[in-house]
Every structure is written in C-alpha cells, then in structure tokens.
Amino acid sequence: MSSSFLEIKDVSKKFGSTIALDQVNLNISKSELFSLLGSSGCGKSTLLRIIAGFEKPDSGKIHLDGEDITLLPPHLRPLNMMFQNYALFPHLNVKKNIEFGLKEEKFSSSEIDSRTSEIISLLELNGLEKRKIFEISGGQQQRVALARCLVKKPKLLLLDEPLAALDKKLRVQTQFELVDLQYKLGITFIIVTHDQEEAMSLSDRMAIMKTGKVLQIGNPVEVYEKPLNEYVANFIGTANIFNITKLDNKYIIDELNMEVDPTNINKKFKKCLIRPEKISIKKFISKNTPNQCKGIVKEVAYLGSYTKYLIESNGFKFYSYMQNSEISEELKIKWDDLVECSWKSESVYFFNE
Amino acid sequence: MNRYLLKVVSLVIGFAFLYFPILTLIAYSFNDNKRVMVWKGFSFRWYGKLFQNEQIIEAFVISIKIASLSATFATILGVMIGYSLTRISKIPARPFFIFLSSSPLVMPEIILGLSLLLFFISSNHLIGFPSSKGQLTVLISHITFSVAFVAVIIQSRLSSYDKNIEEAAQDLGTIPNKIFWKITAPVILPSIISGWLLAFTLSLDDLVVASFTTGPGANTLPIVVFSKVRLGLSPEVNALSAIIMLFVIMAAIAYYFVNRSNIQK
Amino acid sequence: MTLLSAHGKVSPSIFLMNNFLRKQNFWFVFTPYFWLVLFFFIPLALIFKISISVSEWGMPPYRDLLDFSDGNIKINSTLSNYAFIFSDPFYLRSYLNSLSLAFTSTLICLLIGYPIAFYVAKSKESTRNLLLILLIIPFWTSFLLRVYAWKVILQGSGIINAILMKFGIISEPLSMLYNHYTVVLGVVYTYLPFMILPLYGYLVKFDLNLIDASNDLGARPLRTFIRVILPLSLPGIIAGSMLVFIPVVGEFVIPELLGGSDKLYFGKIIWQEFFVNRDWPIASALAMSGIIILVLPIIVFQLMFAKYNFKNE
C-alpha cells in the first residue's frame, strides 16, 4: 500500500453544507499519467486544489513519495500546478515567467540560466523569451505555463483543464505532445478534465467522479468496456442500456422482449450495456435467432468514417454505429428502412447499478 | 449618409460646446487690455504680471505640495482598502467598512467640509490637536475624500484580474508574505498610477473642502483664484488658466502617443 | 522542501489563502478603517450631535449635550433646530431649488451627453482613442477655471454680446449673467464629462451585433434604440446621472460665481449659516437633513444596485 507514489486516503471536504469530496481514496504510481474525469461540480478541481495545497481537507491524509504533505503549505510542496487559464504573470515576459520559480528557490544564476534555456528549447519557445504574455498565442501561452512548472522539476505536475482554452485542432495536436513530453520526462501527471475523449486518449488510468465520490478507477479500456454502473457507462462514450429481468435460467431484455445469456448466471444483474459499434445492422431479414432483433431506422447521420443510426425496436430507441469501410452507395440504409440488428453474445456487458 | 451626417453634427456641436469656453479663455489671456473682454492687441503682459504675483505663486506651491502628499497617502490607503475588500474575507463589521469606504463618493463636499471643520475645532478643544487650522488640516481632509476614489479604481482592478496568478506564485514557491509585493502590486501598478493622478487632481481642484478647513498660511490656488474672480474678472487668472490648460493638453497628448505606441507593440 | 513537515506540526491555518499575510492583514484592514472612522464617521456623528444641541453665544457656539454642572447629568438635546428649518419656507425653498437644479441639469447633461458618448463609442478604434482624449482634457482641467470661463464669455462686454451687436441683432448688450439659467448652463458645462465618461464606458462594451440582430428581426433604427440600446446602457445612464446629480445638490461654487439673487441654493445656505450667522446648530441641522433627504436614498439604491450587479456576474 505504501508502494504508491501519491496516496490520497479518506479525503473529505465540505464547503458550508455542500459536500465537495466524500471519502476519496486514490493511489497513483510514479510516472503515471492519471486523469480525474467528471462533469462540473463533481469535486475533481477541489481534489486538485487539495493536492496542490490551496484547500485543506476536513479529514484524510495525502502522502507524496512517502512524505505526509497534508499540512504543508503550497509554496513548500514539491509539486506544481498548471492553472486552467494558465495564470501567467502579465507583468513579466516569457523568460521571466519561466525563471520565476527557480529564483524563488534561490538557485545560482548559472543554474537558472541553463535550466531555463533547456526547457525553452524543449518546449520550442526559442525566440519568444522577451515577449510579453499578451503578445503570444494561446498555444504558446500553454507551453509557457507548462515550461514554468516543468523547469522546477516537480515530483508531480497537476494540470487543471490544460487544453480547454485551445481550439479543437490545436487541442488534438497538443494532446499528443503532452503525452510525449510526459513520457520523455517521466514526471507523474494528474490531469483534471471534463472531456471524456481527452481523458481516454491521454491517460494511463483515470478516475471518474460524481458528487464528491470516485465511481470507478481504471485504464481507458476497462472504463469503457466494463463500466461499474450506468452513470459511468453513459459518461464515457455512447451507451445503449437495457433493463433485464431474470427468468428461470435466462435473462430477458425488458425493452426488446428478448433473451440474453450472461456468462455468469449466478450473479444478480439488473441492467446490460451494448455499445453502439457492437450492434451491426443489415437490410436483409433472416430467421429469428438469439442476439438479434428487428427495427426501423429513425435517423441517419453520416460522419465520414462511420455512420450513426438511431433504431426503433419494440417502441424503444437505441444507437448503432457502422464503419464506412467501403463506398457502397446502393447498400446505404435509409430512413424508415426495416433492418435486422445483431450482436455477439460476448458484446453484452452486465451490471447491477 | 443621413446617419453619418447626424453623427458628425452631434460630435462637432458637442465638442464645440466643451472647448469653446476653454479656447476663448486662452485667446483672451493674450489681450493687452486691462478690461478683459475688449481686444486691444496681442501681448504676454498678463503672463509677466502673473509670475510677479507672489500670492498666486505661493498658493500654487502650497497646492502642489498638498496635492502630491494627499495623493500619495490616499493611494496607500486606497490600495489597502481595495486589497482588504477583495482579498480578505474576515473583516470586523465588513458592511460598515464598505459603507465608510464608499460614502465619501456620494457625500456633497459642502457637508464633508463642514463636518471636518467642526471635527478639527472640537478635537482642538479636547486634545489640543490640530493646534491650528492650516496645511495639515487641508491635507487630512483631502486624503479623506480622495481615498474613496482610489479605492474604487484599485478594487475594480483587483476583482477583474485572475486571482489564480497569486496562487500560481505560491505554487512556484513564493512565500505568502511576499506575494503582494512580487505579484499583486506590479500587476495593478497602472491602476495605482491612475489612482494617484486622480487623487492629485481632486486635491488640486478642490475649493469647497479647502475653504472650510484652511487656516493662515494655507491658501491653496483655488482659494486665491476664487477670491480674485468672485466679484469680477482678472486678466492674470486668464493667463493662469491658459498655462494650466496648455499643461493638461500637453499631458493628454503625451498620454495619447505613449498609449498608442503601446497598443501597436 | 521538507523543513516544516520534518519538524512535525504546522498550524493548519497558515497555508489557507484567506489567511495569508496574517500580520499584514491586520494593518491592511486596520489602517484605512481607522482613518475613515476618525476623519469621516466621527465628523459626521459630530454634525449630528451639534444639530441636536442648543445654540448659545460663545465658543463653541452651542451648549454641550451632557451637562454635569449640578452634580447630576442633564441632557440638553433638542429637535428645535430641525423644527425651525422645516417650518421656515426659506430653507425648504432652497432645498427644492437645489433639487430642481440638480434634476434639470442631470437631464440636460444626459440629453447632450448621450449622443456624444454613443457616437464616440461607435467610432473606429483610432478615432475613438483620439476623441476619448479630447473628452478627458476638460475633465482634468480645473473645475473653477471652467466656470470662470463662462463668466468671461457672458459678460456685458463679452464675446457673445460683441458678436450679436456686430451683426446688429441687438443694440444694447444683453445681461446674461447672474440668474438661474446661467447657473444651469455652468453646471451642465462643468458636469458634462461626468455624464459622458460612464456612458461611454458602457456603450463601448456594447456588442454592435446586437444592433444588427435587432434590425434583422425587423426593428427600425428608432425601435432598436428604444428596445435594445437604451435598456442595455441603463447602468451607464444611472451611474452618470448619480455622478452629476449628487454633487450638484450640494453645489456652492457655480451659483456663487454665475448665479444671482433670484434663487438661493442649499449649499450657499449652509455656508451662510455657518460663516455669516455663525449658527452652528442650524448649519449642522441643515447638513444632516441634506444627508437624510438626498444621500441616504442614494446609498440604499447603490447597495441594491451593487447586489444586482453582483448577481449578474
């Protein structure tokens, strides 16, 4: 248990009567890229601010690298935080912003110079040293904010919505750069984000939070394929969720009035999940076999690499995503077509919340 | 086209109204005639007279002295108020503090002047301080009404900028006690300067409060000018006006160009 | 890095942002607080005290509120000063004169100032900066000298009379000075920048697309102005109006320089009671009732307005 690099134990925090964090436990390993994911108000930013030291937990402990930092003031913590809107100092230029933290630690000027110029070339900020903060682009500001933290060689870097202020195209590109940088430097990253796609593509592991509680911790595949409950399933990607009823040795999908067979019949399941890309549809109706149903296409959205279909079956609507692997205009399924939907039995995931 | 005409006409009339009196005054300051409004010829005569007028020169020196001291103290106190109200949550009787720091803004100066005068007289009776009315009492009064104006400027600046930068400094290792000097003060410096300038002009411009609280040896420039023009016209005051306006216009032009080059950078 | 934690306990509160600068906190709050209580609040309380004191000859010219002379405490307070000023139409009329002066000139300032602020705010950025400087110059020029300028212009031998006579419109110089119209003119002229600048501040932030949107939805320019622009610039109108109205109510200098004997104003009456009649209790009662009648509603209004603003954020 003490093997984890950052250990958050039973941390709770209230603001007045609202519970921001409720008995949060997290163990993060060294050099891990960990995301805290959740919609606004879930407590992810509060947790980040508690780790940084700007808020004090009502109860619980935080250990970093074997040291109890729960009561350590922010300026003495061996970690740094990249703020959401970067919080760059407007009265200082790029170089002075980057040097700031090193000067506070009273390093020799030669040390400061060499570390600063090293990080400036690492983050490709050469030539911008003398610019004021408002004279550089958003993407450059983001890199300055990153450089300002990384130059201090922190044990842990906290990033509060690091990509939220960038436009979509830059965001995707920066995502890869960030992962690359983290891999190169081996610094532990904790990223707060509300964007599930971002969390999926960045993280080694992630924690999904809701109203102050951690619902699930896992790597992106686990969280997507095996969500612990309906909230997580809906939060990550698109989910078709059905209620199921146990009948003798079988389960029946209530909405479609059809059979499914879980691998573990002994457990008490209440719901099942079938991801849209696991449901395939075709126009030709064959015999009625297990794991398939008939439906009518209600909406079609062509999205280039794949097509989204909204299917209505037995009065219930669900999604199916089909890859557009070949140009097949004449086979294209249209509105109001009658289709057959089918899935493999191992594509159905069962849970009880 | 019609709307464009409307715009030009309103602007021309508006600015003409604002500048007509000022420009007339400047023009007539060069009139070589004792009767102010009858044009006799161009001359610098009244400027010469002005610089020989010891009463005006002395009042000018006193006014500048009081204005710069008042602006400095008012700025210090105003920054403290702005900082307290935006950054410190636990202030005893906070609403009362807010009331105190904003009501000088809406208090008619005649009431302010009267209350301060009565206060100085009573305090002199009770504890012998201030020993007499003079430059000190005017200075105290000017600080008191300027503070509120500076506080408003500082407060709006402090509440508009990203508070995260103070946290960022602490995160990067700045000890809490130094954050104000290292981050907050430099960032709000432009507001501090404009607060000082506003307090300086408020003091330099004040007639009513100064008239109440002044004493021997503390006749400020507005008091002297007022006594000269109360019952009639004074060509020397014309010359003084022209100098002051020229100075203001030059400062404004300098400000304009400095600002413009800043924006282009 | 481990300095504090290595030695064990650290007071949990030392790192809370709210509590940082603990020692400085005290001075940051206390110094201005003390100053304002001493030189703003106590003087006001003193005015109140004197306003309910009994007037008498001597120095100071009023009787102490508490009298210890017979060994027991006697309170010498009275409301007669207030009764006196409210029973004498002379004082009431001066209040009303000041209020109507403030109201009229605020309205005129708004009517003149709005189009100027509007068009300056809507100009191209380069022109706008120049026009803004031109607006600020009179604002920074001495108030007293700007009032004096009108005295020079409106003289019997002044420039306006000279022009009118030259063109034969009049044969005798008009006497334009020393009446309440010139007071209004002087007030409007000196306080116009106080109206324009806050209006400009709100109008310049105004999204021009809203005008297009309104036109697009079928409103004609006048309707657009009434239904979109005016309501959105209301905070600026209120701010500017307060900046003009409040000081004008207590205005003393402009009526003194440009006004005649046809109307007496509130500021002048206080001045006279204090300096000429040396009746401190009456002057204080006038000031107090001035505060109550004029300033108190404004403060309440401002507090409400501040709350409204806060909610909007």
**What's the whole-number mean pLDDT along residues A44-61?**
93
Residues of A engaging C, defined by a Cβ cutoff of 8 Å: 53-54, 56, 67-69, 71-74, 76-78
**What's the whole-number mean pLDDT along residues C296-304?**
69
User: What's the gap in Å between the CA of A73 and the closest CA on chain C?
Assistant: 5
**Residue of B171, B187, B263, B264 for testing the chain A interface, max A β-carbons within 10 Å:** B171
Nearest to C12 among A71, A77, A78 (CB): A71
Residues 6+ apart with CB under 8 A from C172: none
Using a CB-CB cut-off of 8 Å, the residues of chain A touching B164 are 83-85, 87
* DSSP notation for B33-60: -SSTTS---B--HHHHHHHH-HHHHHHH
Confidence at C14, pLDDT banded by 50, 70, 90: very low
Using a CB-CB cut-off of 8 Å, the residues of chain A touching C3 are 76
pLDDT score recorded for residue B92: 83
pLDDT score recorded for residue A126: 92
Question: Which B residues in the span 148-187 are in contact with A, Cβ-Cβ below 8 Å?
Answer: 161-162, 164-165, 167-176, 183, 186-187
Confidence at A254, pLDDT banded by 50, 70, 90: confident
**What's the whole-number mean pLDDT along residues C200-212?**
79
Question: Which C residues in the span 1-40 are in contact with A, Cβ-Cβ below 8 Å?
Answer: 1-5, 9-10, 12, 14-17
Confidence at A12, pLDDT banded by 50, 70, 90: very high
pLDDT score recorded for residue C176: 75
The C-alpha angle A195, A243, A295, rounded to 5 degrees, equals 85
With CB atoms and an 8 Å threshold, state whether B168 touches A90: no
| Residue A18 phi, psi dihedral angles, 5° rounding | -85, 135
Residue A115, pLDDT above cutoff 90: yes
Residue A318, pLDDT above cutoff 80: yes
Confidence at C3, pLDDT banded by 50, 70, 90: very low
Kindly report, residue by residue over B51-79, the tens digit of the pLDDT.
888 899 999 999 999 999 999 999 999 99
Sorted by where each begins, the domain ranges of chain C are 15-75, 88-278
User: Which secondary structure element, helix H or strand E, spans residue B87, and what is its range?
Assistant: helix B54-87
Contact B153, B198 (CB under 8 A): yes
Q: Does B265 touch chain A (CB under 8 A)?
A: yes
**What's the whole-number mean pLDDT along residues B210-231?**
89
Sorted by where each begins, the domain ranges of chain A are 6-234, 238-351
> Closest by alpha carbon to A187, among A80, A102, A283?
A80
d(CA C61, CA C51): 12
pLDDT score recorded for residue C12: 40
Listed range (A86-90, B2-6, B221-225) with the worst mean pLDDT: B2-6
Residue A10, pLDDT above cutoff 70: yes
The predicted model scores a pTM of 0.82
> Closest by alpha carbon to B78, among B140, B141, B144?
B144
* Owner of token pair 């420009």: B23
pLDDT score recorded for residue C22: 57
- Written as six digits, the tokens of B167 are 């946290």
How many residues are given for chain C?
Answer: 313
With CB atoms and an 8 Å threshold, state whether C116 touches B10: yes
Percent of chain C with pLDDT over 70: 80
Listed range (A96-100, A302-306, B258-262, C42-46) with the worst mean pLDDT: B258-262
| Residue A15 phi, psi dihedral angles, 5° rounding | -115, 105
Distance of CA A155 to the CA centre of its chain: 22
pLDDT score recorded for residue C10: 39
d(CA C252, CA B208): 8
**What's the whole-number mean pLDDT along residues B160-166?**
84
Domains of chain B, CATH where assigned: 2-264 (1.10.3720.10)
d(CA C10, CA A79): 19
> Would you say the C-alpha torsion A130, A132, A136, A142 has a positive or negative sign?
positive
Give me the sheet containing A250-253, strands edge to edge.
A258-260, A250-253, A240-247, A271-274, A349-351
Kindly report, residue by residue over A62-75, the tens digit of the pLDDT.
999 999 999 999 99
Specify the higher pLDDT residue, C249 or B2: C249
> Closest by alpha carbon to A208, among A225, A196, A226?
A196
d(CA A231, CA A42): 13
How many residues are given for chain B?
Answer: 265
* Single-letter amino acid, residue A84: Q
Residue C113, pLDDT above cutoff 80: yes
Kindly report, residue by residue over A92-101, the tens digit of the pLDDT.
999 999 999 9
Residue C17, pLDDT above cutoff 60: no
Residue A187, pLDDT above cutoff 90: yes
Confidence at C311, pLDDT banded by 50, 70, 90: very low
* Owner of token pair 């941390």: A11
Listed range (A113-117, A278-282, C171-175, C184-188) with the worst mean pLDDT: C171-175
Residue B170: closest C-alpha in chain A:
A75
User: What's the gap in Å between the CA of A149 and the closest CA on chain C?
Assistant: 16
**Residue of C7, C11, C15 for testing the chain A interface, max A β-carbons within 10 Å:** C15
User: What's the gap in Å between the CA of B177 and the closest CA on chain C?
Assistant: 5
User: What's the gap in Å between the CA of B181 and the closest CA on chain A?
Assistant: 12
Contact A107, A116 (CB under 8 A): no
Residue A40, pLDDT above cutoff 80: yes
Confidence at B245, pLDDT banded by 50, 70, 90: confident
d(CA A45, CA A85): 14
* Owner of token pair 């922010």: A74
d(CA C173, CA A266): 112
Residue C291, pLDDT above cutoff 90: no
Residues 6+ apart with CB under 8 A from A175: A163, A198, A201, A202
Mean pLDDT for chain C overall: 79
DSSP E strands in B63-153: the ranges are none
> Closest by alpha carbon to A185, among A218, A157, A145?
A157
With CB atoms and an 8 Å threshold, state whether B176 touches A73: yes
Confidence at C16, pLDDT banded by 50, 70, 90: very low
* Single-letter amino acid, residue B1: M
In angstroms, the Cα distances linking C35 to A341, B78, B119, B143 are 80, 11, 13, 10
Listed range (A208-222, B104-118, B140-154) with the worst mean pLDDT: B104-118
| Residue C229 phi, psi dihedral angles, 5° rounding | -70, -50
Q: Does A101 touch chain B (CB under 8 A)?
A: yes
Contact B114, C287 (CB under 8 A): yes
Specify the higher pLDDT residue, C294 or C279: C279
Q: Does B159 touch chain C (CB under 8 A)?
A: no
* Single-letter amino acid, residue C78: T
pLDDT score recorded for residue C2: 33
Specify the higher pLDDT residue, B103 or C103: C103
Question: Which B residues in the span 204-223 are in contact with C, Cβ-Cβ below 8 Å?
Answer: 204-205, 207-208, 222
- Written as six digits, the tokens of C80 are 């007669």
A-C interface: how many C-beta pairs under 8 angstroms?
Answer: 30
With CB atoms and an 8 Å threshold, state whether C17 touches A54: yes
> Closest by alpha carbon to C149, among B11, A55, B233?
B233
3-state secondary structure C34-90: HHHHHHHHHHHHHHHHHHCCCECCCCCCECCCEECCCCCCEECCCCHHHHHHHHCHH
Q: Does A15 touch chain B (CB under 8 A)?
A: no
Neighbours of C220 (CB within 10 A): 9
With CB atoms and an 8 Å threshold, state whether C15 touches A68: no
Residues 6+ apart with CB under 8 A from C65: C49, C52, C53, C75, C76, C77
Confidence at C19, pLDDT banded by 50, 70, 90: very low
Is B10 exposed, middle or buried, given 0-12, 13-18 or 19+ CB atoms closer than 10 A?
Answer: middle
* Single-letter amino acid, residue C163: I
Percent of chain C with pLDDT over 90: 18
- Written as six digits, the tokens of A69 are 């930092």
- Written as six digits, the tokens of C60 are 């100071």
**What's the whole-number mean pLDDT along residues C241-268?**
87
Distance of CA A301 to the CA centre of its chain: 26
**What's the whole-number mean pLDDT along residues C294-306?**
68
- Written as six digits, the tokens of B88 are 């410190």
Confidence at C304, pLDDT banded by 50, 70, 90: low
* Single-letter amino acid, residue A98: I
Contact C86, C225 (CB under 8 A): no
Give me the sheet containing A306-313, strands edge to edge.
A280-282, A338-342, A292-302, A306-313, A316-323
Mean pLDDT for chain A overall: 89
Distance of CA C96 to the CA centre of its chain: 17
**What's the whole-number mean pLDDT along residues A150-174?**
90
d(CA B176, CA B173): 9
User: What's the gap in Å between the CA of C22 and the closest CA on chain A?
Assistant: 14
Contact B193, C132 (CB under 8 A): no
Residue B26, pLDDT above cutoff 90: no
Residue C9: closest C-alpha in chain A:
A71
Q: Does A81 touch chain B (CB under 8 A)?
A: yes
Neighbours of A33 (CB within 10 A): 21
In angstroms, the Cα distances linking B264 to A204, A235, B97, B191, B258 are 45, 47, 42, 21, 10
Write the class of the CATH domain A6-234: alpha beta
Q: What's the CATH code, domain C88-278?
A: 1.10.3720.10
With CB atoms and an 8 Å threshold, state whether C15 touches A78: no
Q: What's the CATH code, domain A238-351?
A: 2.40.50.100
Q: Does A115 touch chain B (CB under 8 A)?
A: no
> Closest by alpha carbon to C243, among B106, A17, B167, A222?
B106
pLDDT score recorded for residue C153: 85
* DSSP notation for C155-184: STTSHHHHHHHHTTS-SS----SSSHHHHH
User: What's the gap in Å between the CA of B220 and the closest CA on chain C?
Assistant: 13
Query: Which subunits sit against A, judged by 3+ Cβ pairs under 8 A?
Result: B, C
**What's the whole-number mean pLDDT along residues B20-48?**
79
User: What's the gap in Å between the CA of C21 and the closest CA on chain A?
Assistant: 13
With CB atoms and an 8 Å threshold, state whether C250 touches B35: no
Mean pLDDT for chain B overall: 87
